[in-house]
Structure 1
Amino acid sequence: MSFNANLPFALPVLPPALHLEDAGLSRLLLQARTELAELKGFAHALPNPMLLMSPAIMREAVASSNIENIHTTVAKALQMQLFPEAQQRQPDKEVLRYREAMLWGFSQLDKLPISTRLILGIQKELLPESYGYRTSQNRIINSSTGEVLYTPPAASEIPALMGNLENYIHEEHLDADPLIKAAITHYQFEAIHPFGDGNGRTGRILMVLQLIHEEVLHYPILYISGYINRHRSEYYRLLREVSVSEAWFPFIQFMLRAFHAQAKSTKETLFAVMNLYNQVKEELREKLPKVYSADLVDALFSYPIVTPTTLAEQLGVHRVTASRYLEALRENEFLSDEIAGKHHLYINKPLIGLFTDN
């Protein structure tokens, strides 16, 4: 593998020639698989997994977008989802598209294998205006110095390289563990850099969906971008070192540590969410029996920031009734409220706090 940052990279096809019999790697792999298995089991046991995971997916969307210097917060994105796209700030619009791309990809797994068609569909959900493989050469440049850090393969090579990537994902006879395979796939996709924009975000969505495809997870809940964002410099350095010197082990080790840490963190967050859900359900039934319904509690967790109009739509009641419910919840300190322009927002602050990184 010859590397010159200024020339289109001659990216080797998969699989790489690796010998993975390493005690340190085996230990990291066992730790990551153990935490992911616990996360999978806990999430599967939740009474309504996707309901309680809705803010978790938003947090992943915020962190993944932050890696690309698209900055917002979970609270702001949850607020903006209530309004038409024309009223959304651009960063929030990008984050909400990321969430929709993740959910779209997850919904397609029963119909489509992990494939170039699925990957293109994810990128289209993210960036409908610039959909499809790039047709010209692009480069990754240090924004501070102007130095060319990496020149991806020529556009003419993308279809063949993406076809090879798809074949590798579905090679069942390979000995590679699904987590190692996901790490290798992630590097390869980022190295191909098939799109003019959205490569990083598409690659991180693909990584989570690949773990679901491999039955490591049931749901797209792993907060992987949180780890990558905290260790961004190391992540990019290790990606580059695979290209420069085929240094696969350090990158795979990094990803195994990421899987382990984020499976543990995600599990702890979901456990706290479930406890809060049960607490709110019990206290609401006791304090406001005329307002309480299971559907109302579900709505407060699906929409941690809600308006009377949104709640009315979720419960199938009149807006006046929804307003009365929300005021009762505010008066009894289940929710706080604020005015944003002409909108009256009601906020589940304890829930949002569980998805806000320090």
Structure 2
Amino acid sequence: MEAKLRNLVNFLNDDKAFKVDPVLKMAIGHYQFEAIHPFRDGNGRTGRIFNINYLTNKGLLDYPILFLSRYILDNRDDYYSGLMGVSQRGDWNTWLKFMLKAVETTAILTYNKINDILNAKDAIRQVILDDTAITRPELLVNAILTQPFTRVKHLTDQRLYAENTAKKYLNQLIDLGVLQRRVIQGNHYYLNLELYRILGE
């Protein structure tokens, strides 16, 4: 097993000896990792994380945001059939086409989500400018779009606003329908409804 893993690492990292397009190399490397199956549990999750990390490492992604996991899990039967096709019949063609389709589909989905988030950001900023006297609206919008849930502490820790000001502004965004307050284990969280919707699709 150690020899096979060394072979995989060499294949992935030696671009002079193995001149293969990085996307194809990722697909081949994913198959090899799953075929080696080095762990008792978690090989599938590790293999899916490997995909995005490899593409980021090779400079095809600036950030690790191309989550192939969803496509793979949604097309599980084709995924396992592709893996078995290589193992049993040497059918690399079907496997590589599956992985290329996964990259294409996920790239389009990710691109659309990013545009939806940017449009939501512009819309929220405009609502704040039109209907409130919130200071530094750009910073507040960036803060509430970093993750779906925001807390007063997130704004005070970043030194964007004092605690009372942060509470006041977040409550104004609730009144505008931008945020929704949730109480979880006694703590107040503010859910960005549009970001939550976009990420949940």
TM superposition score normalised by structure 2: 0.91
1:282 maps to 2:126? yes
Q: What is the Cα deviation at residue 229 of structure 1? A: 1.4
Aligned to 2:35: 191
1:167 maps to 2:27? no
User: Do 2:33 and 2:47's aligned partners in 1 also have CA atoms closer than 8 Å?
Assistant: yes
Give per-residue Cα distances to partners, 1:138-170, cap 9 Å, x unaligned: xxxxxxxxxxxxxxxxxxx2x211111111012
Aligned to 1:340: 184
Aligned letter for 1:222? L
Q: What is the Cα deviation at residue 292 of structure 1? A: 4.0
User: Do 1:285 and 1:292's aligned partners in 2 also have CA atoms closer than 8 Å?
Assistant: no
Aligned to 2:80: 236
Aligned to 2:46: 202
Check 1:310–1:215 CA distance in 2 against 1; reply closer, same or farther (3 A cut): closer
Residue aligned with 1:302, SS: coil
Aligned counterparts of 1:236 and 1:260: Cα–Cα separation in 2: 19
> Once superposed, which parts of structure 1, at least 4 consecutive aligned residues long, lie more than 4 Å away?
none
Aligned to 1:307: 151
Aligned counterparts of 1:304 and 1:315: Cα–Cα separation in 2: 20
1:322 maps to 2:138? no
Aligned counterparts of 1:319 and 1:350: Cα–Cα separation in 2: 24
Determine which of 191, 196, 201 is the counterpart of 1:352: 196
Residue aligned with 1:337, SS: strand
User: Do 1:296 and 1:315's aligned partners in 2 also have CA atoms closer than 8 Å?
Assistant: no
Q: What is the Cα deviation at residue 189 of structure 1? A: 0.8
Determine which of 252, 255, 260 is the counterpart of 2:96: 252
User: Do 1:329 and 1:335's aligned partners in 2 also have CA atoms closer than 8 Å?
Assistant: yes
User: Do 1:224 and 1:259's aligned partners in 2 also have CA atoms closer than 8 Å?
Assistant: yes
Q: What is the Cα deviation at residue 186 of structure 1? A: 0.3
Check 1:316–1:197 CA distance in 2 against 1; reply closer, same or farther (3 A cut): farther
How many pairs are equivalent?
200
Q: Which segments of 5 or more consecutive residues in structure 2 lack a partner in the other structure?
A: none
Q: What is the Cα deviation at residue 316 of structure 1? A: 4.9
Q: Which moved more, 1:180-189 or 1:288-297?
A: 288-297
Aligned counterparts of 2:34 and 2:40: Cα–Cα separation in 1: 12
Q: What is the Cα deviation at residue 293 of structure 1? A: 3.0
Q: What is the Cα deviation at residue 176 of structure 1? A: 2.3
* Counterpart mapping for 1:25-174 below 5 A: 157=1, 159-173=2-16, 174=18
Aligned counterparts of 1:239 and 1:195: Cα–Cα separation in 2: 17
Aligned to 2:59: 215
Check 1:292–1:286 CA distance in 2 against 1; reply closer, same or farther (3 A cut): farther
1:294 maps to 2:143? no
Determine which of 263, 283, 304 is the counterpart of 2:107: 263
Aligned letter for 1:162? L
Aligned counterparts of 1:200 and 1:317: Cα–Cα separation in 2: 43
Aligned to 1:71: none
Aligned to 1:273: 117
Aligned letter for 1:343? N
Could you say what the CA RMSD is over the residues aligned between the two structures, in angstroms?
A: 1.7
Aligned to 1:121: none
Give per-residue Cα distances to partners, 1:245-266, cap 9 Å, x unaligned: 2221111110011111111111
Aligned counterparts of 1:315 and 1:161: Cα–Cα separation in 2: 51
Give per-residue Cα distances to partners, 1:249-299, cap 9 Å, x unaligned: 111110011111111111011011111112212221232233443221111
User: Do 2:149 and 2:192's aligned partners in 1 also have CA atoms closer than 8 Å?
Assistant: yes
Aligned counterparts of 1:302 and 1:275: Cα–Cα separation in 2: 15
Q: Which has the higher helix share?
A: 2
Aligned counterparts of 2:162 and 2:37: Cα–Cα separation in 1: 49
